[in-house]
Chain A
Amino acid sequence: MNVILFLIFAAIAVVCGVNVVVQTHPISSAISLIGVMGSLAVLFLLLGAEFLAAVQVIVYAGAVMVLFVFVIMLLNAGVEIRQGRALLAQVLGIPLLFAFLGLMAYFTRSMFPSGRDVRFGEFHYGSAADIGRALFTQYLLPFEVISVLILIAILGAVVLAQKELD
């Protein structure tokens, strides 16, 4: 049951991911990206990381992507026109893609030997309490550093935007 669900949602995630690139209209790309986020949340749920799944939907699908869609609607971005592709991309694109996939598969195989396959239902530390405890004890310093980093990024964005206005 778990494996079937995993295959279904993994397939949806991949198809939506490809669709993000293939679609010419920005709104369609954004919708496909929401599909990717949603199926990723289901994959997290299948693996037992329920808190992460909920946060994935709330933050990425519910907040970040709403902002994306909002901006696309506000700018009223139209259909993108496909530019003529370079000869190099036409000839080498697909072989290079397969070479890249092969490299990825090779490194994944060598870094994670077959004895350590992922099994559904083995991971039990995904509840809100577990994540909170980990964040505020073991990973306290990285967590706080990241929050300061995000604050700096926000301030930087405000400063840059104000320069444009003046």
Chain B
Amino acid sequence: MRAIPKRRRAVLLLAATAVLAGCGGGGGVAEPPVRQANLSTNTLQLAVGVATFPDGSQGLNVVSTFRQPGGLSATLVNTPTISGPFTNPAPASTSCPGSSFIAGLIGRAYLAGFAQYSGAFSVAGAAGTDAGTHTISGSPQVAPANPVACTSLGEGGGVFAYGLSLQNQTPDQTLNVGPAYWYPQPLFAPRLQSPVRYVGGPPAYPNVRTGTYPAGFVGYPQGFLTFAIGAPPAGSYSLNVLVPAANAASATFNASAAIAAPAGLPPFAAPPSVTEDPAAGGGLTVSFVAPAGVTESIVDIVDIGPNAAGSGSNPAAPVFYTLVARGSGAQVVTLPPNLGPVAPNGSASPSILPGDNYVVSVIGADYPLFEAGPPANTAATPTISGANGQADLTFAPPNGNFSVAGYSSRTRSPLSRGTK
């Protein structure tokens, strides 16, 4: 091999250095190749209808889905705005503090237009800047300590796989699940009306209180959010969803629906009848008569403690159960015994623990309320309206064994009697 003259070697060295200098790219290291989602594959759906409350009053029911092709929630942060021919009647009295994640759940509920939810059904709805307008909206997220817009749905409100909830992601990346992340319904309810968090549990939905589900996750969404704005006017309603992004272009999704039959479903004639299983196991039998027009009813039972056992990494009460009945007329459904949270050693616990308070709520719907929701339904565009093109609901007066402001128990529990 022919030797390279020394002088040329030096030149080669410098040349090599220069070539390597070209690798510097001006001194920066490129960001890793992040795979961005294609937001355009997401699908937003809206259905609206009339919600008939136990006292016969009516409000607006909003059913929405915002999903990826596989059925999961489209995004983890978004800001919705509902518009329609209604006028938001809620007062604007809520003062909105600066955005601060340290405020936690209290802040979320507060921003959402509620007084602090602490188990006592004391709610005074407010709409902030939505008051007197034709909109019900959420607040765009802002940096901590900056003022956040006062709105009906608050900073935490977004549209997910099945309905609106307070589950907008926060940068601390905690999993926002648990009862406090569901809106108490109906929104804007006057004080002493019955706002309730509707969450799907076993046996209709999988039992998530086995320790194998994420901590704090208590059940599945049922997709509807009702607003006590009075009988909703007929007309076209729209849902606008803004997906804000820090490192990509923001995206906006729109969906619309109409109320053509503003009468809605008739109210329940009576609260459900509840019979407690005299044997151990905490089962219940619930009887009710679904009004005409109802195609399916869901019976949501909530063991609100104080004794409900936790399981796995899940805390204790409330524990949610759901039963489903089809059609209208007389219905009898049964909550099996021993469906309660499963202990770490695998042993079952009673569905309703002795001495616990519980609430039984029956909701009649004229659309496939249960079938459209997760985890069973993984369609991107599930059917969320009934034959009349609406999503109407009717709520029976609650029953059970409870004592909260404005309500008295209809059923005295033999289990509770036995413990008192």
Are A and B bound to each other?
A: no
B-side residues, CB < 8 A to A, are none
